[in-house]
Amino acid sequence: MHGNVIGEGAILCAYTTITSNAKIGKYFHANIYSYVAHDCVIGDFVTFAPDVHCNGGVMVEDYAYIGTGAILKQGTREKPIVIGRGAVVGMGAVVTKSVAPFTTVIGNPAAPLRK
Ligand SMILES: CC(C)(COP(=O)(O)OP(=O)(O)OC[C@H]1O[C@@H](n2cnc3c(N)ncnc32)[C@H](O)[C@@H]1OP(=O)(O)O)[C@@H](O)C(=O)NCCC(=O)NCCS
């Protein structure tokens, strides 16, 4: 699609979509049915499980893992949603705010997993 830049080693499984103006780093893995919408910036070694909905203007930093069926709210230029380096978004989470690096979030709205 229009204006995307996708780094080496990307694995885009069946029924995945990258819409437009996305910048994706090295070794991205998008599992089945996931999408990356317009103006997203995805780092290196990022993994999307199946059916991840990454809405427009979201930044996902290096080594982040997004679980099955998670939905990431769209960001704006003034206030991007940032999934921090090495963060984990649990399956089914609805992420409405940025996630700090190396933090696991779950639920709707997503909040840190505390054990
Ligand atoms: C979030 C996640 C990383 C946590 O894993 P974990 O650290 O092993 O956590 P646990 O399984 O010990 O669960 C801890 C608690 O959180 C709950 N929990 C775990 N994942 C959850 C989720 N996604 N949503 C809501 N609650 C969740 C558990 O029920 C448990 O609750 P309890 O303490 O009341 O019993 C993991 O559950 C997850 O969602 N992984 C993504 C899986 C996936 O998408 N796989 C795709 C394969 S292709």
pLDDT tens per residue across span 46-98? 999 999 999 999 999 999 999 999 999 999 888 889 999 999 999 999 999 99
Task: Please give the Cα distance from 107 to 5 (Å, whole number).
Answer: 31
Catalytic residue status for 38: yes
Range 1-115 classified under CATH 2.60.120.460: no
Residue 84 C-alpha from the chain's centroid: 10
Query: Are 75 and 96 in contact, with CB atoms under 8 Å apart?
Result: no
Residue 104 C-alpha from the chain's centroid: 14
Domain residue limits, the chain:
1-115
Q: Does the C-beta of 5 come closer than 6 Å to ligand 1? A: no
Task: Please give the Cα distance from 76 to 113 (Å, whole number).
Answer: 26
Give the residue whose CA is nearest to atom 33 of ligand 1. Answer: 115
For residue 30, list its beta bridge partners.
12, 48
Sign of the dihedral defined by the CA atoms of residues 8, 38, 47, 23, in that order? positive
The model's pLDDT over 25-38, given as tens digits with 9 standing for 90+, comes to 999 999 999 999 99
Best residue among 91, 104, 105 to mutate for probing ligand 1's pocket (most ligand atoms within 8 Å of CB) is 91
Tell me the pTM: 0.97
